[in-house]
């Protein structure tokens, strides 16, 4: 078992109904995983195999729990995952090759999935690695990624955010106050075969269908699944985000009518208080 890399699965007690499927699928599809795995939650112990639970109580928010968990392990890198992003197919040597590359090239952040396209240059001669520059919106996000622990701590900056605030506020503060201080990349191959399973507290229909097709049935009765209208809306939203021209057009129309996105509102808030984050 390697100790220089750990897997941290961020969760909370309210999502404990997802733990069984998450870890059963991880063990099924990544049965040669050589990295210790930790589940971070509030107060409920996880009884799944090959998992150590880090209990943080109910006082800290998402980044506070993450920072606390980083103090409990001694790895140089962490594979940061969320409990509602399941592994959906067999993991091969590409993940260990990626970690070797990270260690050899001073990579501080390595995103393992490109849910919405990064319209940036490829790294060197690579056909699957894209560069993440400091000014890329949501370039650094909570999608499954490999982090340098030192860089992750710097991004958290001892602040206690919810996961939602971390993605919006912390990203924008990074843009405003400093450039990324190491190589940040996105691997477009989805080498862990991540399948997003829950949104707005409900199971995503497409994820349930894909696992059913594989012969793995997920019991969604306790949590429920998204209604068809909401599912179609989210699919449309994702389609717009994945098409640069359509996304730019929608943003232009929003701007024309004075409609600001959440991230734009937070950008204004942060700029007003810029000195606080220097």
pLDDT-derived band at 278 (thresholds 50, 70, 90) equals: very low
Which tops the pLDDT comparison, 267 or 100?
100
**pLDDT of 277 strictly over 60:** no
pLDDT-derived band at 229 (thresholds 50, 70, 90) equals: very high
Q: How does pLDDT run across 52-102, given as a tens digit for each residue?
A: 999 999 988 999 999 999 999 999 999 999 999 999 999 999 999 999 999
pLDDT score of 251: 63
Q: Is 267 helix (H, G, I), strand (E, B) or coil?
A: helix
pLDDT score of 259: 60
pLDDT score of 271: 46
Which tops the pLDDT comparison, 257 or 55?
55
**pLDDT of 167 strictly over 80:** no
Q: Is 237 helix (H, G, I), strand (E, B) or coil?
A: helix
pLDDT-derived band at 145 (thresholds 50, 70, 90) equals: very high
Beta bridge partners of 7: 37, 79
Tell the residue number behind the tokens 């306790």, with chain if given: 222
pLDDT score of 244: 65
**How many whole angstroms separate alpha carbon 34 and alpha carbon 24?**
16
Task: Read off the pTM.
Answer: 0.86
190 burial class (0-12, 13-18, 19+ CB within 10 angstroms)? middle
pLDDT-derived band at 2 (thresholds 50, 70, 90) equals: confident
CB neighbours of residue 56 within 10 Å: 21
**How many whole angstroms separate alpha carbon 83 and alpha carbon 207?**
14
Q: What are phi and psi of 202, to 5 degrees?
A: -120, 155
pLDDT score of 243: 73
pLDDT-derived band at 161 (thresholds 50, 70, 90) equals: confident
Q: How does pLDDT run across 3-55, given as a tens digit for each residue?
A: 899 999 999 999 999 999 999 999 999 999 999 999 999 999 999 999 999 99
DSSP letter at 168 equals I
Q: Is 42 helix (H, G, I), strand (E, B) or coil?
A: coil
| CA-wise closest residue to 171 among 200, 205, 134 | 134
**pLDDT of 143 strictly over 60:** yes
pLDDT score of 123: 95
Residues whose CB falls within 8 Å of the CB of residue 94, separated by 6 or more in sequence, listed in order: 189, 191
Cα–Cα distances (Å) from 86 to 25, 45, 91, 157, 275, in that order, read: 7, 20, 12, 28, 40
**pLDDT of 238 strictly over 60:** yes
Q: How does pLDDT run across 169-212, given as a tens digit for each residue?
A: 655 554 433 445 689 999 999 999 999 999 999 999 999 999 99
Q: How does pLDDT run across 94-140, given as a tens digit for each residue?
A: 999 999 999 999 999 999 998 777 878 999 999 999 998 877 777 88
């Amino acid at each position: 078992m390697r100790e220089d890399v750990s897997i941290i699965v961020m969760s909370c007690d309210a999502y404990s109904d997802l733990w069984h499927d998450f870890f059963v699928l991880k063990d099924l599809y990544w049965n040669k995983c050589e990295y210790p795995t930790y589940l971070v939650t509030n107060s409920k112990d996880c009884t799944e195999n090959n998992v150590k639970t880090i209990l943080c109580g109910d006082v800290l928010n998402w980044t506070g729990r993450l920072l606390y968990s980083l103090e409990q392990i001694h790895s140089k890198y962490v594979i940061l995952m969320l409990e509602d992003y399941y592994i959906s197919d067999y993991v091969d040597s590409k993940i260990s090759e990626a970690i070797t590359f990270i260690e050899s090239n001073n990579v501080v952040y390595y995103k393992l999935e490109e849910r919405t396209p990064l319209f940036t240059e490829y790294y060197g001669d690579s056909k699957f690695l894209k560069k993440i520059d400091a000014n890329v919106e949501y370039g650094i996000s909570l999608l499954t990624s490999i982090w340098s622990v030192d860089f992750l701590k710097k991004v958290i900056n001892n602040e206690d955010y919810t996961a939602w605030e971390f993605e919006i506020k912390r990203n924008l503060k990074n843009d405003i106050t400093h450039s990324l201080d190491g190589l940040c990349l996105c691997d477009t191959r989805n080498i862990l075969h991540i399948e997003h399973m829950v949104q707005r507290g409900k199971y995503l229909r497409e994820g349930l269908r894909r696992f059913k097709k594989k012969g793995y049935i997920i019991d969604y009765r306790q949590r429920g699944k998204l209604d068809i209208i909401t599912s179609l809306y989210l699919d449309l939203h994702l389609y717009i985000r994945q098409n640069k021209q359509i996304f730019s057009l929608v943003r232009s129309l929003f701007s024309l009518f004075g409609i600001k996105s959440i991230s734009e509102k937070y950008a204004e808030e942060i700029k007003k208080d810029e000195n606080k984050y220097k």
